[in-house]
């Protein structure tokens, strides 16, 4: 019997690995699969973490990163690329060089700086370097409020500050910015600036501790929707709804902040 071949749209995650499966590349690949896409990965760091703590971070040698990038782009070119945690200046230079070389489309950059427990995944001294050489590659940058404060250099206290920060990050080179409001004291609204217009995307708080990997999941959901051909506003709006449900149906696993449920659509069809 001859196999009946089929095709899935390919999408790429360039990020760190989370051995507990809730964040990082593992969360990205689950999100891609939940959107019926073919997920691929370039591992930048191996993070020993779980729902309660980060034990260690081991950065992959840049030669391996170069070879992973070559392996992907010479064979299966992704329709969108999500970039997550880049833990060192050396890795930033490596990623920037490869982005210059391969020129991926629909680049979503999540500037991962802290784990849920506050562990610094991007040392503070690397922040300026990130601003100078990575931000400019973002078709959309997706910081939360603490990350945006580090990148902008000023405190963000309300929605007006969020709008100011989103515009500032576009001035740094990002084509669009989604500033996530989950850390806001007022509400959970996000600010989307597409380089021309500001959109306030309403968000409701869901009472749960199980939010491990929400930032990774949101950015990879945006990349998924862009790969599927959706415009920026709809890509972001639908990604927010996907993450809302992933949190609502989150998983009671682990001793700390449990993971979101990437496959809620399938598990709740029964």
Q: Are the CB atoms for 250 and 258 separated by under 8 Å?
A: yes
Is 214 marked active-site? yes
> 79, 82, 131, 180: which is the annotated catalytic residue?
180
> 213, 217, 240, 258: which is the annotated catalytic residue?
213
| Cα gap 136→139, rounded to integer Å | 8
Helix (H) / strand (E) containing 44: strand 38-49
Is 213 marked active-site? yes
Taking CA 21 as the corner, what is the angle to CA 17 and CA 25, rounded to the nearest 5 degrees?
35
Is 211 marked active-site? yes
> 24, 39, 87, 215: which is the annotated catalytic residue?
215
CA distances from 238 to 112, 219, 247 (A): 22, 11, 14
Phi, psi of 163 (to 5 degrees): -65, -45
Nearest C-alpha neighbor of 196 from the set 179, 175, 222, 178: 175
Q: How far is CA 109 from the centre of its chain?
A: 6
CA distances from 156 to 77, 149, 213 (A): 38, 6, 23
Angle between helix axes 159-171 and 145-152 (nearest 10 degrees) is 50
Is 142 marked active-site? no
Q: Are the CB atoms for 49 and 112 separated by under 8 Å?
A: no
> 31, 81, 214, 217: which is the annotated catalytic residue?
214
> 94, 152, 216, 257: which is the annotated catalytic residue?
216
| Cα gap 113→227, rounded to integer Å | 25
Is 216 marked active-site? yes
Residues in the chain: 270
Catalytic site positions: 180, 211, 213-216
């Amino acid at each position: 019997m001859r196999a009946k071949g089929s095709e899935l749209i390919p999408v790429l995650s360039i990020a760190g690995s989370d051995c507990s499966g809730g964040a990082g590349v593992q969360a990205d690949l689950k999100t891609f699969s939940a959107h019926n896409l073919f997920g691929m990965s370039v591992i930048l760091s191996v993070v020993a973490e779980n729902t309660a703590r980060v034990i260690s971070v081991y950065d992959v040698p840049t030669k391996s990163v170069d070879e992973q990038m070559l392996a992907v782009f010479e064979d299966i070119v992704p329709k969108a690329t999500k970039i997550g945690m880049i833990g060192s200046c050396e890795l930033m230079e490596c990623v920037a060089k490869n982005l210059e070389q391969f020129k991926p489309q629909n680049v979503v950059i999540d500037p991962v700086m802290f784990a849920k427990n506050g562990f610094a995944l991007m040392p503070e001294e690397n922040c300026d370097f990130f601003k100078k050489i990575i931000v400019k590659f973002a078709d959309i940058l997706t910081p939360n409020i603490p990350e945006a404060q580090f990148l902008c250099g000023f405190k963000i206290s309300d929605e007006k500050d969020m709008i100011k920060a989103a515009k500032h990050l576009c001035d740094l080179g990002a084509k669009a910015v989604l500033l996530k409001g989950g850390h806001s004291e007022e509400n959970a609204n996000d600010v989307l600036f597409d380089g021309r217009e500001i959109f306030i995307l309403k968000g409701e708080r869901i009472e749960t501790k199980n939010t491990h990997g929400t930032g990774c999941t949101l950015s990879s959901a945006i990349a998924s929707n862009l790969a599927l051909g959706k415009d920026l506003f709809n890509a972001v709006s639908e990604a927010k709804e996907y993450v809302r449900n992933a949190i609502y149906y989150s998983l009671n696993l682990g001793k700390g902040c449990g993971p979101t449920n990437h496959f809620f659509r399938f598990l709740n069809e029964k």
